[in-house]
Amino acid sequence: MSDRQSSNAYWQANLRIIYVSIAIWALVSYGFGIILRPLISSIPVGGTDLGFWFAQQGSILCFIVLIFFYAWRMNKLDAEHGVDE
Amino acid sequence: MSQFTLNLLFIGASFALYIGIAIYCRAKSTAEFYAANRGVSPVMNGMATAADWMSAASFISMAGLIAFTGYDNSTYLMGWTGGYVLLALLLAPYLRKFGKFTVPEFIGDRFYSPTARIIGVICLLIVSITYVIGQMTGVGVTFSRYLEVSNSTGLWIGAALVFCYAVLGGMKGITYTQVAQYVVLIIAYTIPAIFISLQLTGNFLPQLGLFGTHEASGMAFLSKLDMLVTDLGFREYTAHHNSTLDMVLFTMALMIGTAGLPHVIIRFFTVPKVSDARKSAGWALVFIALLYTVAPAVGSMARFNLTATMWPGALTGDTYSQPAVSLDAIETSPDLAWMRTWQATGLLNWEDKNGDGLIQYYNDAATAGPVVDMAASQALAGNELTTVNNDIMVLANPEIANLPGWVIAIVAAGGLAAALSTAAGLLLAISGAVSHDLIKGTLMPNISEKGELNAARISMAASILVATILGLNPPGFAAQTVALAFGLAASSIFPVLMMGIFSKRVGKEGAIAGMIAGMLTTILYIFAYKGFFFVAGTNILPDTPDAWLFGISPASFGTIGAMINFAVAFGVSAISQRPPAHVQELVESIRVPRGAGDAVAH
């Protein structure tokens, strides 16, 4: 039973990390890159605006950081809950 | 040394390398054939995934897609990279923990249903076969352009090469050739980009050059490009023109489609541990980003170079400060020899419609702006650069920028590496579905390990033959890779995998109903606008933004198909039985990483 509870707590913690990461994933691509572009268009980046930068470069860099952050955070979580390999 | 000898030398050397690896990495068991014995390091797998993923389309076509549309086609950049976040967070680690060999196998076990597994196989085959035809035609085109052989000879040479390392080595051989192919293709892509960025912006990093200064005019490069294209009556490069809703849905369809592509998913079965699968997705994206952050620079700079070639005044001053390039220069000048080379391939063409001895390149559909006055004052009878194929932006790039012959030869080897590596990954997914899911899983469950390995090799050989024949005579649907392959992967495969991991409530009835609903609605929506089985003239509605339902293009519908899949699956599951206890246990077990190593012995 304690095992089941621990794995349940582990899974809930994992889901929370996923929710936050997915929110950032959506914000930098669909948000800054597309929908919110008019709102941040006053910030200039090399001949264009910040939204264009996010759409063509910034979102991809954020995606990389997100995956490595998730991998690092999950390794810690695995160890805390004793489910690491 | 002639250009032909250089091309032969570079392509020949790269092929010798691939064959050497194939002989070194022969597969001796099914675990080696399907999953490289789960012994690939996360960085190596990341590199192999990048080559597996970046196809002839990424290498040859994407920069051109961005070049001629500008900001609106950022969808490809975000869509084809953002899917890796979904893979790393939602699919790869859990499917690695499951520890089997194919995607339909997971669907069959998790939804305790051979029917679900067969539907998975059907989706996989439609997606992968559509995809592989494009790669095979890409191989044929590249060969015929650079080695002066016929299209079909080129295709058979490519097929013979894939046969060597895929049949002998399976996943193991494919993995290490893909690593080599990644190195070749990334060098081939970045070298011309660095040269061009240096020439135009003085910055050797194309990623920074894109947002840097155009040295000759002193303006920001993108402002200069915007000015140049709007002067000629084209749409502003950096501005947003298309429907925002469709842009969001299309990006989403590409992202979840990417995450649902079986040939990408199975790459994550080759790493030793669950934590390696997460890390490996990050490395894959690093290697992919090396090309994907260069592509928008290549596209915009190549478009600038091409346009400034047509209007030499634009290089330093106003677009119309000098007359357009003369017909005489195009036909005799050594600097413009590349135009004559590419005219021969049909990718580029011009015609002096008004007979003034100049070739004016402009948008003859424009109704306002300086271009209208220019066209009137020069008595133009229409745009005179009559053909500019998207692909020329990458293929002719080194020649437009006057780079040395060895750079051109590297680009040829890189284009082949991109097409061959993706073809091999797809063929492995196809042959695995046939030998493991159909033969071992359904028709002959008692087949021995050795028998299955032979079956896997024979299905690989047969898949290569079928793909080559389809590549020689591409059917109509081959041009619809984006709509059909990504649409189906998004609407059928991605949702069922995600529900299999994140829901314990969805059972076989829900999964089967969801997959069928997602797949059918997506296919029907595409057929309604593109024609049934893409036969011209059989479409019910015209394929124009006004006729699309809520302005949703057929290629974006995968996102809606996925929503339908989720909704139907949860709806049906609410009124059907809970999955049995052993399936609940299975879901519990794939959610925790510990014990993944045990699956190796399976």
- Count of beta carbons in the 10 Å neighbourhood of residue B422: 28
Chain B CA closest to residue A81: B592
Contact A70 B286 (CB under 8 A): no
- pLDDT of the residue at B601: 40
Same domain, B237 and B316: no
Q: Which residue of A has its CA nearest to B247?
A: A34
Q: How far is B73 from chain A (nearest CA, A)?
A: 9
Q: Do residues B390 and B349 both lie within one domain?
A: yes
A10 touches chain B (CB under 8 A): yes
Cβ contact (<8 Å) for A14 and B279?
no
Q: Is residue B101 part of a domain?
A: yes
> B500-520 burial, b if ≥16 CB within 10 A, otherwise e?
bbebbebbbbbbbbbbebbbe
Domain boundary assignment for chain A? 2-80
Q: Which of B473, B506, B523 is the last residue of a domain?
A: B473
CA distance A18 to chain B (A): 7
Of A59, A74, A85, which is closest to B596 when you measure between CB atoms?
A: A85
Nearest CA in chain A to B299: A56
Mean pLDDT of B363-390: 91
Which value does ipTM take for this structure? 0.95
Residue B457 within any structural domain of the chain: yes
- Residue of chain B minimizing CA distance to A18: B89
Q: Which residues of B touch A18 (CB under 8 A)?
A: 89-90
Clarify whether residues B221 and B276 are in a common domain.
yes
Q: With 50 as the cut, is the pLDDT of residue A33 above it?
A: yes
Supply φ then ψ for residue B388, to 5 degrees: -135, 100
Asked if residue B279 and residue B161 are part of one domain, the reply reads yes
Kindly state whether residues B140 and B288 are assigned to the same domain: yes
pLDDT winner (highest mean) among B346-355, B477-486, B532-541? B346-355
Nearest to B353 by CA among B386, B329, B322, B325: B386
- Region B337-359 average pLDDT: 89
CB contact under 8 A, B296 and A52: no
Those residues with Cβ within 8 angstroms of residue B475's Cβ, 6 or more apart along the chain or in another chain: B133, B534
3-state secondary structure of B387: strand
Task: Let me know whether B228 and B361 are in one domain.
Answer: no
Pair (B270, B288) in one structural domain: yes
Q: Which residue, B342, B377, B394, sits at the end of a domain?
A: B394
Q: What integer pLDDT is reported at residue B58 of this predicted model?
A: 86
In this structure, which amino acid lies at residue B43?
V
Classify residue B28 by its DSSP letter. Answer: -
Residue at B354: amino acid letter: N
Pair (B134, B232) in one structural domain: yes
Q: Which chain A residues are within 8 Å of B250, Cβ to Cβ?
A: none
Does B326 have pLDDT greater than 60? Answer: yes
- Say whether both B427 and B448 belong to one domain: yes
Query: Is B564 part of a structural domain of the chain?
Result: no
Q: Is A20 on the interface with B (CB under 8 A)?
A: no
Is the same domain home to B30 and B167?
Answer: yes
> Given A29, A67, A68, which is nearest B78 (Cβ)?
A29
Q: How far is B177 from chain A (nearest CA, A)?
A: 25
Asked whether residue B48 falls in the same domain as residue B93, the answer is yes
Note whether B198 and B144 are same-domain residues. Answer: yes
Rounded distance between C-alpha atoms, residue B311 and residue B307, angstroms: 6
Task: Please indicate, yes or no, if residue B590 is contained in any of the structural domains.
Answer: no
pLDDT over 90 (residue B43): yes
Please tell me the predicted confidence (pLDDT) of residue B600: 46
The alpha-helical segments, DSSP class H, found in B396-445 are 397-400, 405-432
Q: Is B211 close to A29, i.e. CB distance below 8 A?
A: no
| Structural domain for B347, as ranges | 310-394
Identify the domain boundary among B394, B424, B447. Answer: B394
CB contact under 8 A, A67 and B74: no
Give the Cα separation of A27 and A12 in Å (integer). 23
| CATH code (residue B45) | 1.20.1730.10
B241: burial class by Cβ within 10 Å (0-12, 13-18, 19+)? exposed
Structural domains in chain B (count): 2
Average pLDDT, chain B: 91
pLDDT score at A1? 39
